[in-house]
Amino acid sequence: MTEDAPQTDPEADEPREAPAPPAPSAEVEDAMARAFASEEGLPEGFVERCAAHANLLLDWNQRVNLTAITDPDEVAVKHYLDCWRAARMLPLLGRRVLDLGAGAGFPGIPIALAEPNASVTLCESRGRKVRFLEASVEALGLRNARAIEARAEDHLAEESVDVVVARAVSSVRETVRLLRKVRQRFSDLALMKGASWSREMRAAEREAERLGFHFDTVIEYELPNDLGKRALLLYRAPGGAGA
């Protein structure tokens, strides 16, 4: 994320232990089952673990601003199904993935659930959200994910990854500008976008090329129940062997 961290952290004294997940909500579980009813190739227990994370999300959301989407059906489709479909389009096996500005854990948590052989870093600069991510990783028993409190550009200056993914963080232009100083530290950049992706991509075309981000492909898809059009933009970064 691009915003500056406060000089003093009022959240520093908050307990960091992960609370027990809230009691399962039948409403959330039913919504998740409906959302994934027609999906193929789902890992064992994937939908149930997404429901467990959604329960935790909605519980914490009463105290910490994590999501404006609270209707169970919209949560299931707009957060989890969207991230699942994007994850299936990415080569993730054995790769190190950085979720830039992970927020409430999207797309990093569903990616970690979808591909246990990927290593996922949930990078978030805001303390309260990091506490939630830590609680999520512990509650779900995610051995292939970790939450860190840092700016993505600072973390990448010290540690390389294979793929940087971002969802609902900033525009394409702002994202490539943010990563310009660490663009040699990863191979691929995957940006999850909405229906206006083509406008964003055109606006950033010259900037991306100048900074060495080569556009590879776009994959478009639609969410069910008229809940929106989505696109996954894939760029080859200077750190990629084929760039």
Q: In this structure, is residue 207 part of a structural domain?
A: yes
In a domain, 31, yes or no: no
Residue 16 inside a domain? The answer is no
Give me the pLDDT at residue 239, please. Answer: 85
Structural domain for 173, as ranges = 78-236
Regions in the chain scoring below 70 on pLDDT: 1-24, 241-243
- The tens digit of pLDDT for each residue in 190-231 reads 999 999 999 999 999 999 999 999 999 999 999 998 999 999
Would you state the pLDDT for residue 240? Answer: 74
**CATH code, domain carrying 86:** 3.40.50.150
Q: Is 0.75 surpassed by the pTM of this model?
A: yes
Residue 59 lies in a domain: no
pLDDT of residue 169: 87
Specify the pLDDT at position 21: 53
Q: Is residue 108 part of a domain?
A: yes
pLDDT at 238: 92
Quote the pLDDT of residue 25: 85
Give a yes or no: residue 163 inside a domain: yes
SS3 annotation, the chain: CCCCCCCCCCCCCCCCCCCCCCCCCHHHHHHHHHHCCCCCCCCCCHHHHHHHHHHHHHHHCCCCCCCCCCCHHHHHHHHHHHHHHHHHCCCCCCCEEEEECCCCCCCHHHHHHHCCCCEEEEEECCHHHHHHHHHHHHHHCCCCEEEEECCHHHHHCCCCCCEEEEECCCCHHHHHHHCHHHHHHCCEEEEEECCCHHHHHHHHHHHHHHCCCEEEEEEEEECCCCCCEEEEEEEECCCCCCC
Residue 242 lies in a domain: no
Residue 132 included in any domain: yes
Number of folded domains that form the chain:
1
